[in-house]
Copies of this chain bind each other. A is one copy, B any other.
Amino acid sequence: MHGSMSGAGDGRGTRPTAHELARYEALFAARTRSMKSSAMREMMALTARADVISLAGGLPDTSTFAPELYAKLMSQVAAESTARALQYGPTEGMAAAVECIVEVMAAEQTRVDPGEVIVTTGGQQVIDLVCKALIDPGDVIVAEAPTYPGAVPTFGAYQAEVAQIEMDADGMPIDELERTLDSLQAAGRRPKFIYTIPNFQNPGGVTMSLPRRRRLVEVARERELLVLEDNPYGLLRYEGEPLPTLYSLDAQAAGRGGGADLVIYLGTFSKILSPGVRLGWAVAPRPVLEKLNLGKQGADLCTSPVTQLFVAAYFQERDVSGEAGWRGYVERLKDLYRRRRDVMLQALTEHFGDAARWTEPQGGLFIWATLDERIDTTDLLALARKSGVAFVPGRAAYMNGRSGSSSMRLNFAGVPDEEIREGVGRIGKVIREQLGLFGTLTGSSGQASGRLPAAEPAGEQSTPLADVVALPRPKQEGSARRRLDR
Using a CB–CB cutoff of 8 Å, the interface residues on chain A facing chain B are: 1, 4-8, 10-16, 20-21, 23-25, 27-32, 35-38, 40-41, 44-45, 48, 57-60, 62-63, 65-68, 70-71, 74-75, 77-79, 82-96, 98, 114-115, 117, 121-122, 124-125, 127-128, 132-136, 139, 150, 153-154, 156-157, 192-193, 224, 226, 273-278, 285-291, 293-295, 297-307, 310
Q: A75-B74, A115-B12, A122-B300 are in contact. Are A5 and B87 (CB under 8 A)?
A: yes
Q: Are A301 and B32 in contact (CB under 8 A)?
A: no
How many Å from the CB of A292 to the closest CB on chain B?
10
A226 vs B28: C-alpha distance when bound (angstroms)? 11
A44 vs B305: C-alpha distance when bound (angstroms)? 13
Q: Are A298 and B153 in contact (CB under 8 A)?
A: yes
A40 vs B296: C-alpha distance when bound (angstroms)? 12
Of B20, B135, B154, which contacts A286 at CB under 8 A?
B20
Contacts of A288 in B (CB 8 A): 24
Contacts of A297 in B (CB 8 A): 37-38, 40-41, 150, 153
Q: Are B71 and A298 in contact (CB under 8 A)?
A: no
Q: Are A86 and B124 in contact (CB under 8 A)?
A: no
Q: Are B135 and A29 in contact (CB under 8 A)?
A: yes
Of B68, B77, B277, which contacts A86 at CB under 8 A?
B277
- Write 18 A-B pairs (CB below 8 A) sorted by A numbering: A5-B89, A12-B95, A12-B117, A13-B92, A21-B287, A24-B285, A31-B132, A44-B88, A59-B87, A67-B82, A121-B304, A154-B299, A157-B295, A274-B306, A277-B306, A278-B306, A299-B299, A306-B307
A262 vs B83: C-alpha distance when bound (angstroms)? 38
Q: A6-B95, A70-B85 are in contact. Are A304 and B276 (CB under 8 A)?
A: yes
